[in-house]
Structure 1
Amino acid sequence: MTDHPYTDNDLRAEAARQHATLTDDPDLMGVGEQMEYAWVPSVETTEDGSARTWKQLLVVEDETGDDEDYTAFGEAQRKIHDLIQGAADVSEWAVSLGAAGLTRTVSMGWYVTGSGWDLAVQIAHLPGIKPEVCDEIESAVRLAVERVFREHGLVPRGLDTSA
């Protein structure tokens, strides 16, 4: 029995519920605010070696520098909003990982029948586990999933480890 009228599981359940609610109906304006000064991972760095933000990449100033065209930024903002809203609910899993002190390390998605992933697996571990152990586990999971697909007459057409 604890000093509180709730359990750790109650806390985790509420955190998962709120996490799911935040992703179920994200605030479009909030998405834009978070994008404005966030770095775009795939964009080459500028001449001085710094990365570029979504605003630097997509907002166009007119000749005077006074008026700005946010059309491309708004389009990306809506696409990101839709991706958040359409995401699989992994809230409980995410909260449980954090509570256990685990770190997400690798995601794998397999293409078998359609144009999108047919199966995805995400692996998380304690930060202290040796990289060679993690690599061996990742390889074992990948081989096991592909073996099961083949046993059922399905041939994986590709593996995406950026899943």
Structure 2
Amino acid sequence: MLNRPYTDVDCRHEAARQYAEILRAPDLAEVGDEMQPQPIASTVGDGPGETATWIGLSGEEFHDARNEIRELLATAPDLSRWAVDLGANHLTSTTELAWGNGGWDLGIQIAHRPGVADELHEALVKAIGGAVGVVLGNRGLDCPRIT
């Protein structure tokens, strides 16, 4: 594990935030510059004055984080149409399921309209997860559920 003051999840969070900003402002001059005053997600709520911001990193740490975020943005699939379709159908992304064996081999997002009963949502997530587990098992694939 790398010794750094932010997590991979922090980089994903910031990349997703910037991706949304880029969609709203495609003339954004430099990906990464806008992140400087933003909090590092994993530090929010740690205590008074303990929330770290990206600009608070050392020069090398900030440079490395910015490069990692740029790479995440560069390799992110274009889900614009999917996102627009979700919104047009008044659906909300609610649950991520993932299976893998050292990497992200399979991921499923479950979306539904607001107001679906919790019991129905839980039953659907369980059924979908179970079905994927059966298919992977029947194919002899060792990909345990990771979320």
Tell me, yes or no, whether TM beats 0.5. Answer: yes
Flag the structure with larger Rg.
Answer: 1
Which has the higher relative contact order, 1 or 2, with Cα contacts under 8 A spaced 6 or more apart?
Answer: 1
- Structure 1: stretches of 5+ with no match in the other structure: 1-18, 60-69
For the pair 1:32 / 2:6, whether they are aligned, the reply is: no
Give the letter for the 2:87 counterpart. G
Tell me, yes or no, if the aligned pair for 1:39 and 1:54 is still in contact at 8 Å: yes
Divergent runs of 4+, >4 A: 25-28
- Structure 2: stretches of 5+ with no match in the other structure: 1-19
Identify the range of structure 1 (45-54 vs 141-150) with the bigger mean alpha-carbon deviation: 45-54
Aligned length: 125
- Relative to the length of structure 2, the TM-score reads 0.71
Q: What is the CA-CA distance between 1:131 and the residue it aligns to?
A: 2.0
* Separation in structure 1 between the aligned mates of residue 86 and residue 123 of structure 2, nearest angstrom: 21
* Separation in structure 2 between the aligned mates of residue 77 and residue 133 of structure 1, nearest angstrom: 41
- Sequence identity (%): 34
* Separation in structure 1 between the aligned mates of residue 92 and residue 146 of structure 2, nearest angstrom: 20
Q: For 2:85, which of 85, 96, 100 is the aligned residue?
A: 96
For the pair 1:73 / 2:23, whether they are aligned, the reply is: no
- Relative to the length of structure 1, the TM-score reads 0.65
Q: What is the CA-CA distance between 1:121 and the residue it aligns to?
A: 0.4
Give the letter for the 1:98 counterpart. G
Q: 1:99 to 1:119 in 2, by over 3 A?
A: same
What is the root-mean-square deviation of aligned Cα atoms in Å?
A: 2.7
